[in-house]
Amino acid sequence: MPVADDGGEAGYRAAGLANARSQDGVDQSQTRASQTMRRWAIGAVLCALAAALVVYAGVHWAMTEMGPPPFARVTHLMPTAAHMSDAVEPQEPRQPPLDPDKVDPRYLRMLFAFEDRRFYSHYGVDPYGLLRAARDLVLNGRIVTGGSTLTMQVARLLDNQYRRTPTVKLRQIVRAIQLESSLTKKQILRLYLGLAPFGGRVRGVRAASLKFFGKEPHQLSVGEAALLVALPQAPEARRPDRDAEAALRARNFVLKTVATAGVVTAAEAELASREPLTAEAPPMPEIPTPKPAVTHVAGLFAGLTLGLNVIVATPATAAPMQPPQSPPSYFLGSEEQVALDVRRRLLSPLPAGTQQADRDALWMFYAGRDAPVWAAMTGWTPAARAVIDEIKRADDWGLDAAAFDIPELPAAGGMPLPARQLVDAEIGLSLAVMKYARYARGGRIEDPATQLSSYLDRKPQVRPPFLVMTGIAAAEAPDDYLRKLHPQHEQFEKLRQAYLARRDGAASETVTIPKGSKIKPGATHEQVALIRERLGIAASGEDANHYDDMLADAVKRFQAKHNISPANGVINASTRRALNERQNVSLATLLANMEQWRWMPEDLGDVHVWVNVPEFRVRVVKDGAAVLDERVITGETSTQTPIFSKDLETIYFHPRWNIPESIKVKEVFPSLARGGGYFYRQGLKLVRNGKEVRPGSVNWYKADVRNYDIYQPSGPGNALGLIKFTFPNKHSVYMHDTQSKGLFDASQRTFSHGCVRVKNPLALAQLLLGIDKGWTPEHVAQLVKGDPEEIAAHLDKHIPVHLAYFTAQVDSDGEVTSEPDIYGHEKRITQALQGKWKDIDKGPDHLAQVELAQRLDDAQQARKGRSGGGRRVVSRSYGGGGGGGGGYSARVSSGSTANDVFRRSFGF
């Protein structure tokens, strides 16, 4: 029988008991540590509560010792707070309370951004501001950015305590808490607006606005609002009427700060920084009224002196009498008085439809003048008559002369006209000038992208009204100044001349070529005479129906110009259709195209790329001449090619297509779940954490496709072809090659989803890189023939790319050609110019899709950043960044972007 090992069993029991006791000891130690931590936490909470109670009691005691705020001296600003103070103090000069709602909201936003960004969230004291001030004091030895809030500034103004001592600062803090407990935020803000010092005896925003700008505070410009924000910090040192340079520096510092905070745009801040300071001129001294008693005594002394002279003085020759001095020029009836009345009139309501920007510009302009520009004392000045005549000819420039209200000012026949009539005429003509300038620069349609179509991403090139007034006032020929506000492009002037000819009935009559058989050069046909009349080619012999060589050359040029292939001079159906259709250009079409030129940049660039979408052609223009002309494919009517201008930055050879997040979810994932037919047909690649993954090894019913990178490698089958031209833009479009070359033979080539496909991208790349880098065509061709590896050639000097939409143009022969309005933009512009805004079909906002794709792509990039994974694709890169154009470096691809959001724009 086996014998049991009792000793071993007992040993195991003893070991188990020891382990259990050890474990119990560990648990007890952890329990004691946990209890200790809990006691410390409770103690800390109790200490914090005790400290808070002590602080509360101390603040309450301090407020009791200080007494209530001295509201009695400012009851005119806060009538509802009069009962809060029993103190009787001498009251300050009365001024009406200024409600925050009656102040320019830009001033309030600047005030909060510059002085107290958390005004509506703190209780009188900003802890963040105090901590920042303490940090500055420790690190810099001085307080760089103070911790004072608007409520603390009101406390200082109420108590008249301006010393910078710890005691005074603590008093301000306690008073600020007291104010917050007894007043609303709006009441505190009203007190600040009424008490803020601006130098001398000027207190309050309204008083300062009237003194320095002569206007109510709800009419402030951006620059004026910034100045009023800056002055209370050092009112005496920054007074505009004493130290204009200090005031200017302070105002511009405020503008820079609020622009950084996003209160105003950088462009608004830059324009406001150019505004002149308009400090108030010193008032004329009052003439004291003499008292009767003084006059009687003076007469008595005068009589006594005269009697003594008669008795004692010897005869003397009287000195010649000096002519009486003329009254000062600023008295009534002078030009200075008219200019002053203009400024006063600008504070009153102006005609309906007057823009605030125009009012502000006129105030700034006339604040720096002591004489009117247009209205003389006896009628219009010569400059005014020239301007009025030019405005009346607005119809000749495609505008409507009836849209400009020109005031009447009759000739006075040498007698001064009434001051009110002069003031109204001066302001009225200035408003007409600014409106003309705005319309001449395309301002009739202020924002085509929102008013017409999101695809029309153009902005009128409007000049600031203040610069218009200063420019025309300084011009020797103000009428010529107005004419030069219109586009100076050659094509605009050609369209204008064509418009004038058709408007005045001088255009040639329509010539219709009937249907018929083909007519070859050298033949004689009855339609040849009509073709001669249509093209303006006289007969070389007596028979006008003979198709001679001169006419054949003209027909060949016409065919080549209108993309009729082959351009061999044979009159066929396509040539007849072009001859009949392209001569009927309406006045409305010409006006719509002239209006688009008002939106174009003034400088198109010495070298630029010009894509005219309705014409389906791309041209490279150098020094005003087209050095390349090629066919393109543009977007479908549902996914249009947007109209805008950007700079070409990079040309890619053998581009890689990185599938964006949106297409992965909507297109690729369903294909993978069904077996991957679409995935394999397009030659796509699947990557996870930098490693290529076989799609069949993934369970797509559980996997998230957004965790994978999918791309189409460079190569012959790539959707982008061999070359891509990028000019970064918010529409996510670019120019590129395509595999579908046969589509270029169609007459209307609207096949893409937004991008521009180029028929011969190699020729375009060779020309642009030859201009920019001096590369030979052979060098560029070698990049295309090399290994299918993405190569980026960064341009040393960016080249402007203009995606335009002109349905009417005038060629070098003076012929007006027209193109179909494929997207309806011409119709929309015509409706807008005719005031038919409700009839405009703006269509959907295509950028909403791009923004959604961008958010999806951003989410993908954020996931990759958190995981530290993702595919890194290294490719070669040439030039750019001042590298001399010949550098060679490695480049890491940026991965998936919204740049490819329109799938079918890449050829499939």
The pLDDT tens digits for 372-410 are 999 988 889 999 999 999 999 999 999 999 999 999 988
Q: Give residue-wise pLDDT tens across range 758-772.
A: 999 999 999 999 999
CB distance 758 to 737 below 8 Å: yes
Average the pLDDT over 874-892 and give the result: 44
Annotation says 736 is catalytic? yes
Distance CA 580, CA 732 (A): 39
Domain 603-828: assigned CATH number: 2.40.440.10
Q: How confident is the model at residue 77 (pLDDT cuts 50, 70, 90)?
A: low
- pLDDT tens-place string over residues 774-832: 999 999 999 988 777 889 999 999 999 999 999 999 988 788 888 999 999 999 999 99
Gap between the Cα atoms of 647 and 607, Å rounded: 11
Over residues 588-597, the pLDDT tens digits come to 999 999 999 9
- Distance between CA atoms of 468 and 360, rounded to whole angstroms? 13
What's the distance, CA 105 to chain centroid? 20
Given this model, what pLDDT does residue 871 score? 42
Q: How far is CA 412 from the centre of its chain?
A: 47
Average pLDDT for 866-884: 46
DSSP string, 153-194: HHHHHHHT-----HHHHHHHHHHHHHHHHHS-HHHHHHHHHH
pLDDT digits (tens, 9 = 90+) for 212-270: 888 888 888 888 999 999 988 888 888 888 888 888 889 999 999 888 888 888 888 88
Averaged pLDDT for residues 523-538:
87
Is residue 227 within 8 A of residue 198, CB to CB? The reply is no
More confidently predicted of 577 and 2: 577
Catalytic residue among 486, 654, 731, 755: 755
**71-79+95-274 and 603-828: same fold?**
no
Mean pLDDT of the chain: 79
556 with 569: CB under 8 angstroms?
A: yes
Q: Give whole-number Cα distances, 629 to 129, 555, 560, 625, 758, in Å.
A: 63, 20, 11, 11, 11
What is the pLDDT, as a whole number, of residue 583?
66
- For residues 828 and 839, give the distance between their C-alpha atoms in angstroms, rounded to a whole number: 9
pLDDT of residue 715: 80
Q: Where are the domains of the chain?
A: 71-79+95-274, 334-486, 523-582, 603-828
Q: Enter the tokens of residue 789.
A: 């590896």
The pLDDT, as a whole number, for residue 886 is 43
**Tens of pLDDT along 288-347?**
444 443 334 333 333 433 343 333 333 433 334 344 344 343 344 577 888 888 988 888
What confidence tier does 154 reach under pLDDT thresholds 50, 70, 90?
confident
Selected catalytic residue, list 562, 736, 794, 825: 736
In the three-class reduction of DSSP (H, G, I as helix; E, B as strand; rest coil), residue 445 is classed as coil
Any long-range contacts for 183-186 (C-beta under 8 Å, 24+ apart)? 183/78, 183/81, 185/119, 185/120, 186/100
Backbone angles phi, psi at 475, to 5 degrees: -75, 140
Q: Answer yes or no: is pLDDT of 734 > 80.
A: yes
Q: Name the band, by pLDDT with cuts 50, 70 and 90, for residue 865.
A: low
The CATH class for the domain spanning 71-79+95-274 reads mainly alpha
CB 72 within 8 A of CB 89: yes
In whole angstroms, how far apart are CA 563 and each of 627, 629, 630, 745? 17, 11, 10, 10
Q: What pLDDT band is residue 78 in, cutting at 50, 70 and 90? A: low
Rounded Cα distance between 335 and 419, Å, is 10
Which residue has 């009759």 as its token pair? 410
- Answer whether residue 54 shows pLDDT above 50: yes
pLDDT of residue 386: 96
Percent of the chain scoring above 90 in pLDDT: 33
Average of per-residue pLDDT across 711-726: 86
Q: Which residue did the predictor score with more confidence, 80 or 127?
A: 127
More confident residue, 783 or 903: 783
pLDDT top residue among 165 and 577: 577
